[in-house]
Structure 1
Amino acid sequence: MPTTASRHVRLFRNGRNQAIRIPREFELPGDEAVIRREGVNLIIEPLKAVPLRDLLTQWSPLDEDFPDIDNLPAEPVDL
């Protein structure tokens, strides 16, 4: 869809929040979005999912010594 597409919509109240119904042709994928203000304009963008692998590569390794844990057999359970 070209970026020049537009449509007149109405604003309404949802509790204490101002809301807008997004017309079908402007629907965003997913369940979440990011909203920001640029001057008098509001920009709504879909929240891009970050693959877990990419997220993990952003983290630095922990400099932590973890205690040794005994590898004990599981305790029997009466059913």
Structure 2
Amino acid sequence: MNEVRRVSLFRNGRNQAVRIPREYELPGTEAIVRRQGATLVIEPVPATSLLEWLATAEPVDESWPEVDDPPPEEVEL
């Protein structure tokens, strides 16, 4: 995966942007960019686990209705 490809740079408002070729497309709608010396590294944002999301979620302050849920009837096999 040491393939080299020349890409286009362009302006998007006051930001500089890079066109990423389809074969290098990243998942999602966000990425992380960092500088290593004169090199820019662009990588996908790691997926958030359900436990991480639940740790930051606001508590639900709702009253839930009672649900009539009797056990299933026995069936002869």
Class of the TM-score when normalised by the shorter of the 2 chains: 0.5 to 0.7
* Corresponding residue pairs, total: 57
Alignment TM-score, normalising by the size of structure 2? 0.64
Identity of aligned residues (%): 54
CA offsets 1:41-69 (integer angstroms, 9 cap, x no match): 0000000112121x26978xxxxxxxxxx
Residue of structure 2 in register with 1:40 after alignment: 38
Alignment TM-score, normalising by the size of structure 1? 0.63
User: Gapped runs of 5+ residues in structure 2?
Assistant: 57-62, 64-77
Residue of structure 2 in register with 1:5 after alignment: 3
User: Gapped runs of 5+ residues in structure 1?
Assistant: 60-70, 72-79
| RMSD, aligned α-carbons | 2.1
Write the distance in 2 (CA, Å) between the matches of 1:40 and 1:15: 24
- Superposition pairs of residues 31-70 of structure 1, within 5 angstroms: 31-53=29-51, 55=52
Residue of structure 1 in register with 2:18 after alignment: 20
